[in-house]
Structure 1
């Protein structure tokens, strides 16, 4: 490293290492300050059983909203949002540490792929070629098991621009991974807007061979707070006029049914809790959004506890899930046992089992094509 001309004689003896150490310490401090000034903070989160280090990223915008996520599963772990009194509360359910995330099958806040949702008989045919996938105990493929994307450590690059701050996560899924053809290169961007309480999830992917792709995020939410454990005061308005008929395994039959007169009609705001008695086992259903396929639009408004969430997406459907599988055995990051029907997932995606239904929107991805999708979560006071 050069010396400033006119700065006087070079230091003698042991002063040079001291000055260098001081310089690099100052440089690191400046970088940390710049990162903090941009609203991005990173911290060590732990090391996986396989020895992979995992970091946590905390974003904070100019209004005070915070969004946090970890490299493991590209998992959202917190969103601090205000109610009508200005009180900020975390509304994302999460687990207390990395070991808990490695143990769980709950997929808290993680990216799901290569194919979110069920595929009947764990196989499909694309362009005349039948692809066999790993089957679970019920004979279906679901969420990329047994080696899903939510159990992997993703590569991350943080960014800050004029309008937003966030991170770009990258994952390479090789040819044959999870049984799917084609090497898939996937990026998922988490973006927090600087001047309003909104975060966005943006997906982009390419494949080296014909394949199918269906991505979502499995974040669990409760607008009264992650520890509230009830949806009693939540009201949902969803711009969906049809839903997918399913069989006993909740695999689509291919029929799209009218929501009118059913517990799936949320075209006017209604309580999920009040309707649970009419839905066997709770909500775990695909609602077909009333907008052109591929077009981005606001599709739902959810209110509770003085907060309002507006969801927008370019996806054609949403899987509404009322955490029917929760049983109080998992303790959340707030120290509270999570209970059945105590939160909801709003998974924007393509239809489950689309590759086996010619009438469903296509999930095929071919070489030379770029898959793009985005979903936004905007929080306001109610």
Structure 2
């Protein structure tokens, strides 16, 4: 049976109604109690080949993806924190859902249908990631499911009119789906609003295919099907220019590493000081189609991650914010460049840039987005 990633999310068979072995491969454990007394659970999925995917209700946060290397050894490749308290304290948004608008909005305002919307501004005078009350700090409601091709959970959140300064009551669902017969998981987003608004959802996961807790990314090679990037100002807000990646460190149209730029072997003003990738790359192929947008290889383990998405762009980040102050679940403190983020999404500041792909959501329309991560290993 072929699985269509754009199928309506609510067609999933709920575990509570399955009653015919549908629960196989899903387990649920306590993960802690929030200060308000709400219980947080951790869900672990396991497919037919032994791949495991885990996530928690707080922030709808991914906490592990155990995938095989060329020798069959499975390691978690998602950077994570050891307990709930660490997730509550962190400001780094480990593998959580980001919204209502992922990325920067210049001046913390935009105009839609003649109405100027003012958002909460940070110290730099911009809005970013729904601060100061982002979706990563909320307890999402979860419904587990199983169908013939996959197992997983649907997370739901209601963001009321005026939440984070945005107009419109927003109803969001985020599905984590592990395929039964391939080492692949998908993140499926859906949302509706009762007033014109803007929306840009993503997942803020950091990966290291050598295994979370491994130092650096010297053995990683990236191929990203993007031919342009968003030029930004000193606050990292897009200027509106979409420039060619040719001749820059952002050209990953052929497989390339990153550490030659990050470890001092080469230099580019584009990466700043200290150097770091934190750039919005525009995919060459048309948005909307679920297509291959990137391949990441880790040469020592042989792990390969293929990324497919319906989104128009990605925010590619080289873990520049890690500074050794937070220990991961493996017991090792994460240092700069110990992982990369690949945040498929709309472009930052799109509400203020009319020639960027639109992030407007209107009443009666349904926002849908799918990003999938498929893992294989060389021999």
Deviation of 1:359 (Å): 0.6
Aligned equivalent of 2:45, options 59, 70, 83: 59
Aligned equivalent of 2:287, options 293, 307, 323: 293
* TM-score, reference length from structure 2: 0.91
SS of aligned partner of 2:85 = helix
Q: Which residue of 2 aligns with 1:183?
A: 169
Greater percentage in helix: 1
Q: Which residue of 2 aligns with 1:371?
A: 367
CA RMSD of aligned residues (A): 1.3
CA separation in 2, counterparts of 1:137 and 1:229?
32
SS of aligned partner of 1:42 = strand
Report 1:179-258 matches (<5 A). Answer: 179-258=165-244
Aligned equivalent of 1:311, options 292, 307, 311: 307
CA separation in 2, counterparts of 1:109 and 1:135?
24
CA separation in 2, counterparts of 1:294 and 1:127?
24
SS of aligned partner of 2:86 = helix
Matching of residue 321 in structure 1 with residue 317 in structure 2: yes
Q: Which residue of 1 aligns with 2:100?
A: 114
What do the CA deviations read for 1:227-270 (whole angstroms, capped 9, x no partner)?
10210100000100011100111100000000111100000000
* TM-score, reference length from structure 1: 0.90
Identify the structure with bigger relative contact order (alpha carbons < 8 Å, sequence gap 6+).
2
CA separation in 1, counterparts of 2:76 and 2:19?
25
Deviation of 1:222 (Å): 0.1
> Larger Rg: 1 or 2?
1
Q: Which residue of 1 aligns with 2:334?
A: 338
Aligned equivalent of 2:347, options 342, 347, 351: 351
Deviation of 1:153 (Å): 0.3
SS of aligned partner of 1:376 = strand
CA separation in 2, counterparts of 1:160 and 1:235?
35
Deviation of 1:34 (Å): 4.7
CA separation in 2, counterparts of 1:32 and 1:231?
45
Matching of residue 129 in structure 1 with residue 115 in structure 2: yes
CA separation in 1, counterparts of 2:294 and 2:82?
30
Deviation of 1:293 (Å): 2.1
Aligned equivalent of 1:89, options 69, 75, 99: 75
Deviation of 1:32 (Å): 11
SS of aligned partner of 1:271 = coil
Structure 2 residue ranges without an equivalent (≥5): 1-17
Question: Is 267-276 or 123-132 further displaced after alignment?
Answer: 267-276
What do the CA deviations read for 1:111-149 (whole angstroms, capped 9, x no partner)?
000000000010000011000000011100000000000
CA separation in 1, counterparts of 2:313 and 2:261?
20
Q: Which residue of 2 aligns with 1:7?
A: none
